[in-house]
Amino acid sequence: MVRNLGWALAAAASLAGIGAASAADMAVKARPLPPPVYSWTGCYIGFSAGGKGVRTRDTVYKPAVGALAASSVYLGELEDTTWIAGGQVGCNYQTGNWVFGIEGDAHGQRWGVSSALVGQIIPTGFAAGDTFELRSDWQASARGRVGYAVDRSLFYVTGGAAFTEIRAFSSWVAIPGIRAAVLATDDRTLTGWTVGAGVEYAATNNITLGLEGRYSDYGRQRFNSGPVVTNVGQLLPVLVTQNTYRDVRIETGEVMAKVNYKFGGPVVAKY
């Protein structure tokens, strides 16, 4: 009886020791690691496309020359819309949740506005049928970006320099006995500023999808609209040349979808 009791106690003690050891092992087991957190650090290249609205304010001037007084005509506020399509390259650096980057992009586009003088009220020196156009086929920008990352989502603001090509066409109709027809073209690359905001999401470690909106302002720009020769003589021809010009204000607003391929870049785990 005593022998059996001693064996039972010994067995119980052994089981208790094993249980304690097992409990100790469980107590020091490491907690499961959290899932990796995405890093936005790295460079990328991508494509983008969307829509754009354009607003222009255009005034044509004929300066005073000799017997001809100065005159001008305001063509009004003209608007147009266009598609835009192109690409971008850039680099980001992430510290904590903040992301700092630079980006450059270029897009094709096709917009144009036109105004022809009609009606009864036309300023002196102008004529019904005089036509003035603006057209553009591309835009580009070089910008900085500052964003706040929440794992794979990035919310950012952006701003920098904007560039675009503008072609200004001026067509002056002939007025028999007074002036000959003139067609003038002035092609210029303009520099302005642009600001905007966007959101980007990392669909995979290398592919990001984004949506961005921007406003651009190119200020007031001067274009040559041609030398207009006017006959101011009565009995004999007296020709006076006015070197005309246009002052144009151009503003744009755009929204585009973006797809980027991010090169390398680690996925960092937080513990």
3-state secondary structure of 67: coil
pTM: 0.82
Q: Which residue bears the tokens 């017997």?
A: 67
Mean residue pLDDT across the chain: 88
**pLDDT of 14 over the 50 cut:** no
Could you name the CATH architecture of 39-262? Beta Barrel (2.40)
> Can you give the pLDDT at residue 37?
83
Q: Once rounded to an integer, what is the mean pLDDT over residues 221-241?
A: 90
Comparing CA positions, the residue from 124, 130, 88, 86 lying closest to residue 105 is 88
> Can you give the pLDDT at residue 32?
61
Q: 97-124: per-residue pLDDT in tens?
A: 999 999 999 999 999 999 999 987 898 8
Percent of the chain with pLDDT over 90: 75
Identify any residues that bridge with 92 across adjacent strands, giving them in sequence order: 42, 101
> Can you give the pLDDT at residue 36?
67
Q: 49-91: per-residue pLDDT in tens?
A: 999 999 999 999 999 998 889 999 999 999 999 999 999 999 9
Residue-wise burial string across 215-226, b where 16 or more C-beta atoms lie within 10 A, e elsewhere: bbebeebebebb
